[in-house]
Amino acid sequence: MTKIEHIGVVGAGTMGAALAQKFATEGLQVILVDQVPSAVEKALTNIKNMLEEGIERNVFTKERVATIQSNIQGSHQLIELMNCNLIVEAIFENLEAKKELFKSLSTIVQKDCIIASNTSSFSISDLSTSVLYPERFIGMHFFYHAAKNRLVEIIPGMKTSVQTLETTKLFASIIGKDAIECKDKFGFAVNRFFVPWLNEAVRILEEGIANTATIDNVCKTTFGIGMGPFALMNATGIPIAYHSEKTLEVFGKAYEVAPLLKTQAESGKNWTINDELIESNDQETKSIIKDRMLAIVFLISSQILDEEVCTATHLNRGAKIGLRWKKGPVELMLSYGFDEVVRLISSLTNKYNLPMPVRIGGEFLKMESVTLNTNKDFAVITIDQPENLNALSETTVDELYEKFCLAENNPQITTIFITGSGKAFVAGADIKFFVRNIKQHTIEEIETFTRFTQNVFDHIDHSTKKVIMIINGLALGGGLELALCADQLFALPTAQFAFPETGIGIYPALGGTQRCAKKIGKGLSKYLIHTGKMLSSTEALEIGLADQIISKEQAIGILAGNQPVPAIHKKELKQHWKDIQQFFEKYPLAEIQNKSIEEATLTNEELTKIIKSISYKAPIAIRIADRLIEEAKGCDSELNYLSEIFSTSDALAGLTSIGQKIKYTGK
């Protein structure tokens, strides 16, 4: 498999500059090429300005920015790309211009270089006819702003090799992108429904039903988005929407470009968006807008599923990550119900004389949040809901249990790996579930969920198969509690570990107070749970929470069966951690809270930090957690205080104010 270290980006516009910045930030050597030298200079200046803004926001250090900039080289000559392992084309959406570029690149690059097009609409198979080695040609459609947006669509052409596809998926993972694989159909998955959604908004305006501000406002409410279609087109470029929709006209009359969109794109002007909304009681107009915008999404999403362009899970993920919709198309269809979806789609199938899509409801809309893959004698279970940071919902826990049992009951499987996708392993439980049940006074639902999840974790913990956790990112709260069920725990360098519960009004109740103490001792467990300290992978290794740190490439190799599982070497606890451990073992919680510390080997700075951190935690929650750790009566004991803790006003305040400072009342 080709190792990608040197990357070329062709096209120094907004997208090309963002891609160059992203690749360089990930430590790769990047050559940004554009035939117009001034465009390259402008792109490098824009990258520099954006990185410096990152310094001001404490996202980057000056040293980090200097390193990133040193990773980017600008040029206006394609010949500079001859030693690249991967080249991403990011020029404007012109079919002939792209084909000419690919012909030129084919005569320059090495035989094992992968060429990827960032086209948003054109056929990858068609574009691949312009290269000498179509088996190493693929689509990688990134989303605005590519340095920040985690979504990428990966589109193999008819002749793309399996090795090229796997290498591209590996590359996407290494640079921190959430990839969805799509069939080579015009528009792929996301633009296939999103661009017609923009076009439908223009049709509504064109027909005089409502003005731009009103349409934007209704769409923001309906789809849970921050910008409506007209504001979005102004931000990303109206000509892009026009040219993309023009490409999609191959799918028939429902996709025809609205004449007003063509006129506006050719004018070079933005849409005028004023504040003159319709009257709040004009529900009929609002209803028309809502129905039409939902109908176009439902129709095309169903067509995408019919054509098997991608899975329902990936279709939904594309909207949530790539477009930042609160709910994706599949979730929206599920929430509106089968009959309403059919009614809305019928309004368009009748209008355009189209057949009714088949995959509208039921099993066709089923989305997996946990996946299972087997390879000879091992299984890989992936918590696969990166759009929700792999939060533990009722559905996710059900699927985790189902997939684990399937792997466990397979006699050929000896080892079960559990990992996560995206930037989180599991970032805790589904907070919305807790809040909803507290407000509805159905705390028994929380108790049922917690008891069931404890049983699932206990099953994993006591499995006769070897269980290895590979922590790829955030392991918070319930995620860390799941991780502690492992026989071996490997962490990527980017992994982070924490028990944030006492800071949001509750306590760890999925075995965290018990398994953590069993692994690293009561003193360090109290430190983690009482302070909510976020540990890096290095710190987790130092205290014995993690057994080994491995690279992302190593992790992918292990999960693919290409690399052996590394040996575990027990490390001696550093003096710093010994001091913290002894401090929490020596002083009861009440004495720490009352600052009744006679002597401690901790520095004054460390001691002050610990006392201050504990003072911010919810009193009832931290008291229960401390008691559970001290008594060590087993995971079941954590269930005894659920009703008490979730009945407190502190719990509701904490769970509804994530990320904010709260003054807890102890009630």
**Annotated active-site positions, please?**
120, 141, 153, 191
Chain centre distance of CA 552: 16
CA distance 206 to 218: 17
Residue identified by tokens 């069993």 is 518
DSSP H or E run through 485: none
CA pair distance 274, 54, nearest whole angstrom: 32
- R_g over Cα of the chain: 27
User: Which pair of structure tokens corresponds to residue 613?
Assistant: 């951190």
Distance CA 538, CA 614 (A): 23
| 3-class SS of residue 465 | coil
Q: Is 184 helix (H, G, I), strand (E, B) or coil?
A: coil
Question: Which residue in 513, 545, 549, 515 sits closest to 621, CA to CA?
Answer: 513
Q: Which amino acid is at 251?
A: F
CA gap 418, 490 in Å, rounded: 10
Is the sign of the CA dihedral 75, 77, 78, 81 positive or negative? Answer: negative
Q: Other CB atoms closer than 10 Å to residue 518's CB: what's the count?
A: 12
Tokens of 647: 């009945």
In whole angstroms, give the CA distance from residue 579 to residue 585: 10
Tally the C-alpha atoms within 13 A of residue 284's C-alpha that lie toward its C-beta: 1
Q: Are 218 and 148 in contact (CB under 8 A)?
A: no
Residue type, 613: S
Q: What are 546's two structure tokens?
A: 């993690």
Residue 58 neighbours by CB under 8 Å, 6+ apart: none
Residue 281 and residue 304: Cα distance in Å, rounded? 36
Q: Which residues are bridge partners to 471 per DSSP? A: 491
Per-residue exposure over 132-142, b if at least 16 CB sit within 10 Å of its own CB, e if not: ebbbbbbbbbb
606: tokens are 């460390």
Cα gap 230→286, rounded to integer Å: 16
Give the dihedral of Cα atoms 282, 287, 288, 289; nearest 10 deg: 90
Closest CA to 486 of 518, 509, 508: 518
Dist CA 607 CA 585 (whole Å): 14
- Beta-bridge partner residues of 86: 7, 114
- DSSP alpha helix (H) spans, 508-665: 512-520, 522-531, 537-543, 552-560, 575-586, 589-593, 604-615, 619-631, 642-646, 649-655
